[in-house]
Structure 1
Amino acid sequence: MPVYDLSILLLAGGRGQRMGGQDKGLLEWCGQPLIAYLHAVARPFTNDLIISCNRNPERYAAYADRLVSDDSDDFPGPLAGIRAGLAAARHGHLLVLPCDVPQIDAALLTAMLDAVRRDPSRPLMLRQGEHWEPLLCVIPTAHAGVFESAWALGERSPRKVMLQLQAQALQCPSDDPRLANLNTPALLQSADCSSDEPPQGTC
């Protein structure tokens, strides 16, 4: 898969319930908004960088080529953002990243894309032990209709839709520091950003 046969979706459209209703992607960690870290890693991989957001579009616009939003205003969950991203994507695959994993790196994205190249017709999800990470995934955009049909039938779980499509796994260690999810105020404050060395992991 050439680098530019890839669209990337950054998910920042959630309610931010664990953050007291704040717009999580714009919360600062180590002096920058969370979305800035995702943008820095994703930008070299695509000429079609999409952000799913339901608030503050004027601030998110600086970090994306295009913005999408959910088709309802009640924060229906990440599957709504993924559907919007699939509908907007200009390329054959959509790589999805949540906004609260600021320590991911280019090596992780490269590993995901290398795995997809081996079997490009199936979605890929990260997996830690027995736990799937459905918001760290790559989806062939040809499956957009499957996601729409599942939504129409009431499905709201991205993981279940991708497993129905026989998703492949990229296995990562359960303690991979790059996958630390900073989705509460306590985690955001406690995550170390003083080291000059980026976190190392292997998937």
Structure 2
Amino acid sequence: MLYHSPALFHLIETDMPATAPLPPCSILLLAGGQGRRMGGRDKGLLEWRGQPLVATLHGLLRPLTDDLIISCNRNQARYAAYADRLVEDADRDFPGPLAGIRAALAIAKHDYLLVLPCDTPLLEAQLLNELLDCAVQHPGRPVMVREGEYWQPLLCVIPVQHAALLEAAWQQGERSPRRALQPLDPVALQCLAGDPRLANLNTPELLSQINPHAGH
């Protein structure tokens, strides 16, 4: 089913094991961008090791949730095979990832929304579980990956209880996920700079360096 969208961070380094069973979460896969760095191509459908990037991520995410949401603004029929539900931006000028996040928060089935981009095929389930575990340990606060000194705001867990706050930020003109989340005092899940799991394959050159099928 397709739905249309209606200060400093707190750093905590954590590698501790889960202290309680992880709760169910909804997952949002962001695939709604314009793909400028890919020459306008739909990144989620680019080939990665013999299959679309979205298929690789679907294989990772499917065991983790019964509510897999994909934000996409084109090729919905193809993306539907990999999602429980789709959302698209009401504004057709590609307003950015916060549009997809607010749309997913409005329909999420569970108390947490795990967010990730479609061009990170080297992600591992362990890292995603660590994000969710950290969110459980810090109730009510978003958790965001920090790679070295740099925040990765599109790899995060957002408590769904904050949907109204992010919607208000959007209505006030905010379009940056990081700035929209800042008032909620996000917690950092610290990763080393250059962590290969976080590789963002957002240009043809990066994709072709580790993907012999790119461009075919």
Which one-letter code corresponds to 2:137 in the other structure? R
Deviations 1:137-191 (A, max 9, x none): 0000010011110011111100011121100000001111010000000000002
Which one-letter code corresponds to 2:124 in the other structure? D
TM-score scaled by length of structure 1: 0.92
Which one-letter code corresponds to 1:19 in the other structure? M
Q: Is 2:152 the partner of 1:133?
A: yes
Instruction: Say which is worse superposed, 66-75 or 1-10, in terms of deviation.
Output: 1-10
Residue equivalent to 1:15: 34
Per the TM alignment, residue 193 of structure 1 is displaced from its structure 2 partner at its CA by 7.3
Residue equivalent to 1:154: 173
Which one-letter code corresponds to 1:40 in the other structure? G
Judge conservation of contact 1:4–1:46 (CA < 8 Å) in 2: no
CA distance in 2 between partners of 1:155 and 1:40 (Å): 33
Count of residue pairs the alignment pairs up: 194
Residue equivalent to 1:33: 52
CA distance in 2 between partners of 1:170 and 1:177 (Å): 15
Per the TM alignment, residue 5 of structure 1 is displaced from its structure 2 partner at its CA by 2.4
Question: Where in structure 2 are there 5+ consecutive unaligned residues?
Answer: 1-19
CA distance in 1 between partners of 2:62 and 2:21 (Å): 15
Aligned equivalent of 1:46, options 65, 72, 84: 65
Judge conservation of contact 2:146–2:191 (CA < 8 Å) in 1: yes
Per the TM alignment, residue 38 of structure 1 is displaced from its structure 2 partner at its CA by 1.3
Matches within 5 A, 1:63-78: 63-78=82-97
CA distance in 2 between partners of 1:183 and 1:40 (Å): 20
Aligned equivalent of 2:120, options 89, 95, 101: 101
Q: Is 2:200 the partner of 1:181?
A: yes
Question: Where in structure 1 are there 5+ consecutive unaligned residues?
Answer: 195-203
CA distance in 2 between partners of 1:130 and 1:161 (Å): 20
Residue equivalent to 2:134: 115
Residue equivalent to 2:209: 190
Which one-letter code corresponds to 1:124 in the other structure? V
- Structure 1 residues 50 and 2, CA, compared in 2 at 3 Å: closer, same or farther? farther
Per the TM alignment, residue 120 of structure 1 is displaced from its structure 2 partner at its CA by 2.4
Which one-letter code corresponds to 2:96 in the other structure? G
Q: Which has the higher contact order (CA 8 A, sep 6+)?
A: 2
CA distance in 2 between partners of 1:38 and 1:160 (Å): 27
CA distance in 1 between partners of 2:120 and 2:109 (Å): 25
CA distance in 2 between partners of 1:37 and 1:188 (Å): 14
Identical pairs, percent: 63
Judge conservation of contact 1:3–1:45 (CA < 8 Å) in 2: no
CA distance in 1 between partners of 2:212 and 2:143 (Å): 30
CA distance in 2 between partners of 1:185 and 1:155 (Å): 30
Deviations 1:107-162 (A, max 9, x none): 11111111111012100100012211000000000100111100111111000111
Judge conservation of contact 2:48–2:211 (CA < 8 Å) in 1: no
